[in-house]
Amino acid sequence: MSSTKKFGTAPVFFTAISTILGAILFLRFGFATGTLGFWGVILIVLLGHLVTIPTALSISEIATNKRVEGGGEYFIISRSFGLNIGATIGLALFLSQAISVAFYVIAFTEAFEFFFDYMKNTYDIYLPRQIISIPVMILLSLLIIRKGANLGVKALYYVVAILAVTLILFFLGSTNYAQETSFSLANADFRNFDDFFIVFAIIFPAFTGMTAGVGLSGDLKDPGKSIPIGTTTATIAGMIIYFFIAYKLSANASPNDLINDQFIMSQIALWGFFVIPIGLAASTISSALGSVMVAPRTLQALASDDSFPLSKVNNWLSKERKKDNEPTNASLATVIIAMVFVIMGDINAVAEIISMFFMVTYGSLNLISFLNHFGSPPSYRPSFKSKWYISLIGFIASFWIMFKINMTYAVMAIVLMSLLYIYISYYHKSRKDLASIFANTIFQLNRNLQIFLQKQTQRKEKVEWRPSAICISKNSFERDTAFRLLNWISYRYGFGTYLHRIEGYYSKSSYKQSEKELANLLKNVGNNNSVYVDTIISPSYTSAIAQAIQIPGIAGMENNMVIFEFEKGNQEDLKEIMDNFKLVNAGDFDVCILASDRKRINYKNGIHVWIKNTDDANANLMILLSFIILGHPDWKKANIKIFEICKEENGDQVKARLKELVSSCRLPITSQNIEIVYQKEDVSPKAIINEYSSGAGLTIIGFREELLSHYGSELFDGYDDLGNILFVNSFSKKRIE
């Protein structure tokens, strides 16, 4: 990119204002005023600037926060949303800018309407507009390739001077209609409201020039100063001038003349027959100059970021001329594209799509500003400050107006850009988009939600229970059963924190080890993960648990469940869990102990829940957990089956109680899912459970603290025929809403 910064603020202002006061002003603004009336066209100006003013403020803000390099709007978008999204919007922006060159060149030929009329009336020869537009395009191409932006900027000064003189003579002029009419603001009207957005679509391109000067960012001495001042002043000045022009047109010409005479301004201005065509020629050629200076710089910036699939194309387009750092190759590509559309001659349909792409660009710039306000990254410290709600209004207005102008073209533009993004992401897989700006936004949203939820939890006496579980394991790389259980619980209804324990004291070496192991863990769990994963460095299991149960929950609520895990037959791990049960139980936690089995989990056989009528606290939690786990896709073909062991004489009473529990809880369990098992005197409950649940995907069994104190590890033994078992101890009875 350019190493020599040549320009100050004036080129930004002149490029923008000359594009704003361009072809639409001279050729279509009278039609808009005649169709909608004074207040109708004022509403168009205001609505158009509801997009452009927030965008100008957003650009000004972003430009004063970081160094804006070559590429202008593309640079801002790509460095905020990522290179893939930036390239998608940047390519659309470049095409809009390149085709705009053709649009302005074709509009330039309208200044020679007298010549075409003369040939038709005198010699009966109908000449195509291309006899002027093609030579002009060739001349413009040669000048911009040979002389570069220096010539364009010098020409802008003369063009803006001509434009200023033209407008002054227009305001000094008058008509017979002005002498006879009683027009004033008091009796000005708003007519043909049904045609409002049709006319808006015709007029809106007049306002899109306000960002034209931003494309010169790579050639500015001080973009942080020149872009805000030049863009903002041009936008506001353009809006004010349009107000006065609308009033002048309404007061000096009838609605019929405004609609039918596209050169109505020449009937009003002093020496209008000569001045207005000159003004039109000056404004259109200046707009073409502005676009033909800006578009190559956007293309060059795209190529410098390897946006195109072929490295040779990127290298060729990003090259500069050594003597003046001009992007000559990108300029050549731009003028070729523009020439194609000049030869076509009629780009009215394409012009609407161009407006769509401009609107997407403006919406993106406003969204960047809004997200930076909302995300509040410490690095976002612009010296020029807008307001977050102004940026949000600009973003919403951009996309709302897109669909109001032309829903078909709006959908086409979005679909085309989506396909382009998919393609760019395909050959640039390594680029990660949205990382920074959305990470800050998500951080702030998460922070605010956590504070809100914490306050709500404290205020409410009855809060619907949901699991916020924490699991600590040193065996993460040996087996993943505990992690899978936590993932099942966290997938839809709960929250989970998985801590991989590294045994030892906190030091530089153990910290580096934790970073390495965390990276491996995250790689192993992949994308189908609903659990927050981290590491914890601690010299003992007890100290790790004591640390972990005191950390805040990730969901804005305190952790309420601790999950332990041991492998069946490993008495050492089970003993460690039992030694720390009282520590956890002191903190009002529900405790789940998972006995892992190396057998493959047979999901289709479902979840078996074994409850007791003397253990209501555990029963409700076990039923809730089975329902929560069943929400994970792993269990999509499974169901829940509830068992209770009782004596035969109590069977009807127990079954009625279970049916009432299930029906009142609105859980996806029917009477067919409930089974009462009658206990024989010589058969133990463990033997019954082994018989009925040997094929279950997961078996859930409750246990009470007093039984743990009495039986110790025997409480968890004797289930050799079962697969994975989840032993549950509920701190308090859960309400099943």
Instruction: Tell me the domain boundaries of the chain.
Output: 10-427, 433-463, 466-590, 597-737
Is the model's pLDDT at 238 over the cut of 70?
yes
Q: Is 466-590's fold the same as 597-737's?
A: yes
**pLDDT (0 to 100) of residue 488:** 93
Give 92's contacts (C-beta < 8 A, 6+ positions apart).
Answer: 357, 360, 361, 413, 416, 417, 420
DSSP-derived pairing of the beta strands 590-596 and 725-729:
antiparallel
Does the domain spanning 10-427 belong to CATH 3.40.50.150? no
Q: Name which of 176-190, 330-344, 370-384, 411-425 the model is least confident about.
A: 370-384
The rounded distance, in Å, linking the Cα atoms of 440 and 186 is: 50
Q: Which residue has the higher pLDDT, 351 or 728?
A: 728
Return the C-alpha torsion angle 677, 679, 682, 683, nearest 10: 40
CATH architecture designation of domain 597-737: 3-Layer(aba) Sandwich (3.40)
Is the model's pLDDT at 716 over the cut of 50?
yes
Q: Where are the beta strands (DSSP E) in 467-626?
A: 468-473, 495-503, 532-538, 561-567, 590-596, 607-611
Q: Which residue has the higher pLDDT, 83 or 80?
A: 83
- Using 50, 70 and 90 to split pLDDT, how confident is the model at 402? confident
Is the model's pLDDT at 74 over the cut of 90?
no
- Give mean pLDDT, residues 156-171: 87
**pLDDT (0 to 100) of residue 616:** 75
For the segment 305-343, what is each residue's pLDDT rounded down to a tens digit?
888 888 899 999 988 887 777 888 998 999 999 898 888
For the segment 501-559, what is each residue's pLDDT rounded down to a tens digit?
999 999 999 999 999 999 999 888 877 788 989 999 999 999 999 988 887 666 556 78
For the segment 116-139, what is each residue's pLDDT rounded down to a tens digit?
888 888 888 888 888 988 998 888
The mean pLDDT value of the chain amounts to 83
Give 164's contacts (C-beta < 8 A, 6+ positions apart).
Answer: none
- Using 50, 70 and 90 to split pLDDT, how confident is the model at 419? confident
**pLDDT (0 to 100) of residue 46:** 93
For the segment 241-271, what is each residue's pLDDT rounded down to a tens digit?
999 999 999 999 999 999 988 889 999 999 9
The rounded distance, in Å, linking the Cα atoms of 180 and 251 is: 10
Q: Which residue has the higher pLDDT, 8 or 402?
A: 402
For the segment 21-68, what is each residue's pLDDT rounded down to a tens digit?
877 888 889 999 999 999 999 999 999 889 888 988 887 787 777 666
Does the domain spanning 466-590 belong to CATH 3.40.50? yes
**pLDDT (0 to 100) of residue 286:** 75
The rounded distance, in Å, linking the Cα atoms of 402 and 652 is: 67
Which amino acid is it at 276? Answer: I
Is the model's pLDDT at 19 over the cut of 60?
yes
For the segment 432-475, what is each residue's pLDDT rounded down to a tens digit?
655 556 666 666 676 666 666 666 655 445 556 788 899 999 98
Dihedral class, residue 612 (left if φ above 0, else alpha if ψ from -120 to 50, else beta)? beta
**pLDDT (0 to 100) of residue 554:** 63
